[in-house]
Structure 1
């Protein structure tokens, strides 16, 4: 019984091997344009595409030719275009959730710019306070020099610290001005896009009256 089972297994394995061997027939076109049927296929021929045949010569599968460099470039360009369109659709959906009319975006832009400019105004006020302190310290140092006295290192350190504070705040103001311009650019682009998406034109000016003063 065991010998019979072992024989059956061997026979099944041989049958599978024979079936697999029969299935490994290929039909392809060689470099001269001639159709070839073989149990092997050259690499160059495989790139041109080929058919896999069964024992009866029937096609059981086909492999497409390898894409050309132009086809690959065209496919990548198409995929990039489709991805860009998908990203734009998502941006449009998010934009329409925020604003239903271009005028809403204009108002939001003006409000945000006023907030940022208000912060800058506070920083300018801080500079005025520090400049006053700096003038006071520099005046005291000048009086000591005229009197022939040495200026204490603590006073010099305070003057340097006040100067550094002024410089840092001025840098913050300059950076925020750049952020305000970037924000304005982004809002104006959104407003134009909203006009396209909604079919409505803005009725409010992009510039505030105080911007022209």
Structure 2
């Protein structure tokens, strides 16, 4: 036999549903009124709000007339620019802090960076000296070949093509080495500039001044 519904239970369900609906309507009513300032500066209370008025900020009122929520004005172009500038400043600050952390992992004192600059500069200077030595050797060979070619010309002979080719090759080798030396000189200047910036930053971060000169001393 099918069970019969309990009338009192059905009534309770209906009451509960009605209460939920009433609360929903109250919530809707609370969020339905707005207080804002119009374009003439007058205070307005309405169940609708123009889009332009939302930019100036407004209040959401409850059914008792109290403020439920305050929506602030939209930021001005100047405020947006200031926020973006501050965001960029914070980004740059974080990047600088990371650079400082990496720098302090390499050197704990400015003098350590100065000594590292000495070492790397001397390494490049050593390579330059080797190239200058090669240029000296090649220049001697070139002088010899050019002297032989001049003697052949003075005697009325024809300079062999192989000799001319050798002279051109030696001249090219000298130009290449001189170009490499010029590049390494530039590398030294860039290396020194980078080290000097690091040394200055280390003095700021550690609070310790360097005690060594930035000019690379000659090795004893």
**TM-score range with shorter-chain normalisation?**
0.7 to 0.9
Task: Pick from 60, 63, 67 the counterpart of residue 75 of structure 2.
Answer: 67
Confirm whether residue 104 of structure 1 aligns to residue 112 of structure 2: yes
1:30 is aligned to 38
Confirm whether residue 88 of structure 1 aligns to residue 88 of structure 2: no
TM-score (norm 1): 0.74
Name stretches of at least 5 consecutive residues in structure 1 with no aligned partner.
Answer: 1-15
SS across alignment from 2:36: strand
Distance, in Å, in 2 between the alignment partners of 1:140 and 1:63 is 95
Distance 1:156 1:30, change over 3 A: farther
Q: Deviation of residue 111 (structure 1)?
A: 0.8
Distance, in Å, in 2 between the alignment partners of 1:41 and 1:172 is 74
Distance 1:33 1:208, change over 3 A: same
Confirm whether residue 177 of structure 1 aligns to residue 182 of structure 2: no
Distance 1:22 1:197, change over 3 A: closer
Distance 1:127 1:54, change over 3 A: farther
Count residues with an aligned counterpart: 197
SS across alignment from 1:209: coil
TM-score (norm 2): 0.72
2:18 is aligned to none
For the Cα contact (< 8 Å) 2:30–2:68, is it kept in 1?
no
Distance 1:69 1:155, change over 3 A: farther
Distance, in Å, in 2 between the alignment partners of 1:63 and 1:144 is 99
1:148 is aligned to 157
Please give the per-residue CA displacement for 1:119-158, whole angstroms capped at 9, x wherever unaligned: 1111111222222232233233323333231541x44343
For the Cα contact (< 8 Å) 1:29–1:45, is it kept in 2?
yes
Distance 1:148 1:72, change over 3 A: same
Which deviates the most, 100-109 or 189-198? 189-198
Which deviates the most, 52-61 or 119-128? 52-61
Distance, in Å, in 1 between the alignment partners of 2:214 and 2:206 is 18
Name stretches of at least 5 consecutive residues in structure 2 with no aligned partner.
Answer: 1-23
For the Cα contact (< 8 Å) 1:106–1:204, is it kept in 2?
yes
SS across alignment from 1:177: helix
The correspondence of residues 150-169 of structure 1 with structure 2, limited to 5 A, is 150-152=159-161, 154-169=162-177
